[in-house]
Amino acid sequence: MKFEDYRSISEGIKTSISKLGYKKPTDIQYKAIPPILKGEDVLAIAQTGTGKTAAFAIPILNILQERKIKGRADGIKCLVMAPTHELALQIDSVFKTLGNHTRITTFCIHGGVDQEPQIEQLNEGVDVLIATPGRMFDLVSQGALLLKRVEILVLDEADHMLDLGFIKDINDLMRHLPKKRQTLFFSATINEKIKNLAYSLVTNAIRIQISPKDPVAKNIEHAVANVEMDDKRFFLEYLVKDHADKKILVFVRTKVRAERVKSAMERVKIVSETIHSDKLQKERESTMRSFRNGELKILIATDVSARGIDIPDVEYVVNYDLPDSSEQYVHRVGRTGRANKRGQAVSFCSTEEQSLLKEIEENLGKPIKRIEISKNDYESTVNFSEDKTHNWKTLMKEEEEYINKRKKKKRKK
């Protein structure tokens, strides 16, 4: 079935879908759009990169457009909760693009920026509000944000919201919303905690689960190479220089590690930027914008800052550090191979990380392809590097300097 065959979707929204080049719905869109249009609660579980945002944005825009034509009361009619600034902004962009030929107004609020312009915009009137929990509750407590007219609630990346400790915020939110509403619950993974939260919020929900045998999308080629911790920077340098024109997203474990990897790349004349929670919101937005439009080719990120982000044309994902779980692994490699494009992902696994790799493979239900590196090739890669002067003592000193710098910055605040 093609989007143009959906009689229940308005022509304006179909025009926006067509301009984006979408012809057929993805599996999650095909299964989620009809029940949402009917006003039913939905609990949807689908792997990353499957088009979850459009799966709820298309029917919501259609519902609200029809109600607006009938002259329904003003006020926020749809609230979309997202765990991070970046994801909230991305959802906002999808709603605005798909709703370009409708009368629906969409607005995004998040922390890290001045709240006064946000309050002004809310006072002017908004139909769809996308929000992160912190800023939303700040404005609710001040009386600047009223949610009593919300007709549709969406919780997106619900598993990540729980990981970040937002379960109390989600439960508190219910006190501010009408009991009679449509609730849409979207998550990439499902466990008992997620299930309990979901069923406490939805009523007679339609459950949709898109779970292929291999949780990693079939258009992503992913593999692992055994690389010792101190040598990872040499292998990243080699990969980047061997794919100079490619857009590469590098995942690391911590904020400090991100800065260390960036410094290592600077020493070998590779331009990169970092994105993590120590960065100001303005810096994060600028970095993401540069990476999206291709001005920046190498982005080094922590899991929190890049979770759920749909960045176009990422050709390579590099797990510089292995993640703690198979869910995180799937999310990370899912940043490439978006919208049915081909993607590649490589993980560097040190001796200390072998137990993590074993656990990830057990949970995936299959081994990850190995990149075999001969002793000669390994030594050649290390010797290939332009970074000849830095040993582990220098790196430890850099890390200490970075931590002290962040402490001073925080004290000044």
Which among 244, 295, 284, 236 is positioned nearest to 264, based on CA atoms? 236
- Separation of alpha carbons 404 and 167, rounded Å: 33
Position 7 in a domain: yes
- CATH number, domain of 349, equals 3.40.50.300
The verdict on 146 and 241 lying in the same domain is: no
Average pLDDT, integer, range 216-243: 93
270 φ/ψ angles, rounded to the nearest 5 degrees? -105, 125
- Separation of alpha carbons 384 and 26, rounded Å: 44
318 φ/ψ angles, rounded to the nearest 5 degrees? -120, 120
The verdict on 52 and 180 lying in the same domain is: yes
At 404, is the secondary structure helix, strand, or coil?
helix
Average pLDDT, integer, range 80-84: 91
The verdict on 226 and 372 lying in the same domain is: yes
Annotate 112-165 with DSSP letters as a single string: SS-SHHHHHHHHH--SEEEE-HHHHHHHHHTTS---TT--EEEE-SHHHHHHTT
Q: Which of 168, 184, 210 is the last residue of a domain?
A: 210
104 pLDDT higher than 90: yes
Type and span of the H or E element at 186: strand 182-187
Dihedral angle of Cα 178, 36, 161, 116, to the nearest 10 degrees: -60
Query: Which pLDDT score, from 0 to 100, does residue 413 have?
Result: 54
Q: Please write the tens of the pLDDT for every residue from 7-43.
A: 899 999 999 999 888 889 988 999 999 999 999 999 9
Average pLDDT score over the chain: 88
Query: Which pLDDT score, from 0 to 100, does residue 393 have?
Result: 52
Cβ within 8 Å of residue 217, ≥6 positions away: 47, 49, 50, 334, 337, 343
The verdict on 118 and 225 lying in the same domain is: no
Query: Which pLDDT score, from 0 to 100, does residue 46 have?
Result: 80
Position 117 in a domain: yes
| Residue 247 belongs to domain spanning | 220-411
Q: How many domains does the chain have?
A: 2
Query: Which pLDDT score, from 0 to 100, does residue 35 have?
Result: 97
Cβ within 8 Å of residue 395, ≥6 positions away: 260, 264
386 vs 390, residue with greater confidence: 386
Query: Which pLDDT score, from 0 to 100, does residue 200 have?
Result: 87
Of 212-226, 229-243, 303-317, the least confident: 303-317
220 φ/ψ angles, rounded to the nearest 5 degrees? -110, 120
The verdict on 197 and 290 lying in the same domain is: no
The verdict on 204 and 290 lying in the same domain is: no
The verdict on 344 and 396 lying in the same domain is: yes
Cβ within 8 Å of residue 93, ≥6 positions away: none
Instruction: Point out which residues pair with 316 in neighbouring strands.
Output: 248, 344
Position 311 in a domain: yes
Q: Which of 210, 232, 252 is the last residue of a domain?
A: 210
Q: pTM of the entire structure?
A: 0.71
The verdict on 229 and 177 lying in the same domain is: no
Burial annotation 217-245 (CB, 10 A radius, 16+ → b, else e)? beebebebbbbeeebbbbbbbbbbeeeee
Both tokens of 145, joined, read: 């944000």
Query: Which pLDDT score, from 0 to 100, does residue 193 have?
Result: 82
Confidence of residue 391 (pLDDT cuts 50, 70, 90): low
What percent of the chain lies above the pLDDT cut of 90?
56
Position 171 in a domain: yes
The verdict on 128 and 228 lying in the same domain is: no
Contact 187, 53 (CB under 8 A): no
Confidence of residue 109 (pLDDT cuts 50, 70, 90): very high
Query: Which pLDDT score, from 0 to 100, does residue 306 have?
Result: 60
Q: Which of 175, 210, 245 is the last residue of a domain?
A: 210
Type and span of the H or E element at 78: strand 78-81
Both tokens of 146, joined, read: 């009223």
Query: Which pLDDT score, from 0 to 100, does residue 272 have?
Result: 96
The verdict on 117 and 39 lying in the same domain is: yes
Position 69 in a domain: yes
Position 215 in a domain: no
Place of tokens 């922590």: 302
Position 108 in a domain: yes
Angle 334-54-297 from CA coordinates, rounded to 5°: 40
Burial of 253 (0-12, 13-18, 19+ CB in 10 A): middle
The verdict on 275 and 403 lying in the same domain is: yes
Annotate 116-128 with DSSP letters as a single string: HHHHHHHHH--SE
Q: Please write the tens of the pLDDT for every residue from 138-177.
A: 999 899 999 999 999 999 988 878 877 788 888 888 889 9
The verdict on 206 and 224 lying in the same domain is: no
Position 118 in a domain: yes
Instruction: Point out which residues pair with 251 in neighbouring strands.
Output: 301, 319
Both tokens of 62, joined, read: 């259609």
Both tokens of 158, joined, read: 């619900």
